[in-house]
């Protein structure tokens, strides 16, 4: 069994600052679970272009507020605590922080290695190791 505490991740290589977000990678590819789990803060008032061409992601909001806009259809979804959204079709989207920082728990398949940041297209690369 593996037990991870957020405080053990802070300040390590798995505490990744993407500028508009900070993601603390709790479960990673090396843990062999087949998925990864992140505790992520989306900074208030920011906008991030994301397009996970190589991953599926489910996101559950536990604090704060924000919104997601799917670029294929221009739909905007308000995100508040208790809301889950799933990018089940590799949806290209804009993620916007609201009036206060938004804290979310993210699950990725395939799993992240734990060090990724988005490339110029909003994509995480596939970790082939």
Q: Which domains does the chain have, with CATH numbers?
A: 15-109 (2.60.120.10)
Where does the pLDDT of residue 127 fall: very low under 50, low under 70, confident under 90, or very high at 90 and above? low
Residue 123, pLDDT > 70, answer no
Confidence of residue 125 (pLDDT cuts 50, 70, 90): low
Cα dist. 108→8, 73, 74 in Å?
A: 21, 23, 24
Mean pLDDT value of segment 83-92: 94
Is the whole-model pTM more than 0.85? Answer: yes
Joined tokens for residue 28: 């990673």
- The pLDDT tens digits of the residues spanning 99-115 come to 999 999 999 998 888 66
Q: Is 8 helix (H, G, I), strand (E, B) or coil?
A: helix
CA distance 5 to 67: 28
Please report the pLDDT score of residue 128 as a whole number: 55
């Amino acid at each position: 069994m593996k037990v991870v505490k957020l405080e053990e991740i802070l300040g390590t290589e798995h505490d990744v600052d993407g500028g508009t977000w900070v993601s603390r990678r709790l479960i990673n590819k090396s843990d062999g679970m087949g998925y990864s789990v992140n505790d992520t803060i989306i900074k208030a008032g920011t906008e991030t272009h994301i397009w996970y061409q190589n991953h599926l992601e489910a996101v559950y909001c536990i604090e704060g507020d924000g919104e997601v806009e799917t670029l294929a259809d221009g739909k905007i979804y308000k995100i508040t605590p208790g809301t889950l959204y799933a990018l089940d079709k590799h949806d290209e989207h804009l993620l916007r922080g609201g009036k206060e920082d938004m804290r979310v728990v993210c699950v990725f398949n395939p799993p992240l290695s734990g060090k990724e940041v988005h490339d110029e297209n909003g994509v995480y690369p596939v970790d082939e190791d």
